[in-house]
Amino acid sequence: MNEFSLTCPVPLPAGDRIQLAHGGGGKLTNQLIDRVFLPAFSNPALEARHDGAVVTVGGARLAFTTDGYVVRPLIFPGGNIGDLAVNGTVNDLAMCGARPQYLSAAFILEEGLEMETLRTVVASMRKAAEAAGVELVTGDTKVVDRGSADRMFIVTAGVGAIECGRAIGPQAVEPGDAVIVSGDLGAHGIAVLSVREGLEFEAEIESDTAPLWAPVEALFAADVEVHCLRDLTRGGLASALNEIASARGVGIAIEELAIPVRPAVRAACELLGLDPLYVANEGRFVAFVPARDAGRAVDVLRAMLVTSGAAVAGRVTEAEPGTVVLESRIGGRRVVDMLSGEQLPRIC
């Protein structure tokens, strides 16, 4: 009947422009870091590729971190860019085992931004800083031409003294370690999507943005042997686990039924064809602790409001190093890979 001409397109030429996917927190982001930034700035602290850098200044061990905030829309259910800017940097410090102490904030404002919006954001930052126990001690403001910035960008940096005696990070992770998620996934990403044009829907879903030093401090105080902490941001749990599995050369096995997702977030993901494992969070972290400490760690976390939904999601294995494998709710298995770009709503 038909003759099939088996055709195929020409491969894409090497990308010579930055794409949105480079900021997605997945494979392309990591490639950008590997190919552009690391070669230019190589040093041990940077190459550790943890959320923050651990440095020694005058004998004191400090954690030092920075982050840029570009969320759109600026204001979303449960918070605004200001909350993220404070909590995000506070959390990066906490993940290094450091008590967050001082922040800086640089504002890049688009000409024409409403003063009211700026005041709202700044007020949120003040509240968030108070709640997190940090002081904003220095800052900067720049204004750019209309059209050159999407209303407002904020860059924060933070510093704090390391309070954990042990070195925590991917290199301390061991096969057999329990993988604990601090609470339900995906609320932030879905809250933001719910007000994005073209995708609007009604849901009582608020961003989970929150400071996380208090639960981390509680784990240390309870003598839990914390091996690694990573806060879950863009790219979700899947990206964080993949990064750690790769960095340490271990496998990670997780169970779908053990991963907490609140019903409305799950429903929104079903509607848009998104996988909660890849949806952004702003007040959640994953902790790697020895199996014998897992029960105690979960109890300590569940006693605090921000981590009341903590659960053991899986464990570290020796099999399939560098790979994250999920056991589905029906008992089948699949690899949970790092996404190459942004997760997009689909109809297919």
Note the residues at the interface with another protein (CB under 8 A): 1-13, 15, 17-21, 27-28, 31, 198-205, 263-264, 266-268, 270-273, 275, 320, 323, 325, 327-335, 337, 340-341, 344-348
DSSP state of 115: H
175-181-187 Cα angle (round to 5): 145
SS3 29: helix
Residue 58 or 263: the one with the smaller Cβ distance to another protein is 263
Residues 6+ apart with CB under 8 A from 316: 173, 174, 175, 176, 177, 178, 179, 250, 251, 252, 288
Q: Are 149 and 108 in contact (CB under 8 A)?
A: yes
User: Is the peptide bond between 170 and the residue preceding it cis, with omega within 30 degrees of 0?
Assistant: no
**Closest distance between another protein and the C-beta of residue 346, in Å?**
5
Q: Beta strands 324-327 and 251-255: pairing type? A: parallel
Q: Which C-beta is closer to another protein: that of 201 or that of 220?
A: 201
CB of 301 to another protein, least distance (A): 25
Least Å distance, CB 30 to another protein, is: 11
Indicate the residue among 126 and 146 with the shorter CB distance to another protein: 146
Alpha-carbon span 335 to 251, nearest angstrom? 11
Q: In angstroms, what is the minimal distance from the CB of 25 to another protein?
A: 15
Q: How far is the CB of 78 from another protein (least distance, A)?
A: 15
Residues 194 and 205: beta-carbon distance below 8 Å: yes
61 strand-pairing partners: 56
Which CB sits closer to another protein, 5 or 42?
5
Taking the complex as a whole, the smallest distance from the CB of residue 170 to another protein amounts, in Å, to: 21
Nearer to another protein, 4 or 42 (CB): 4
Which is closer to another protein, CB of 43 or CB of 328? Answer: 328
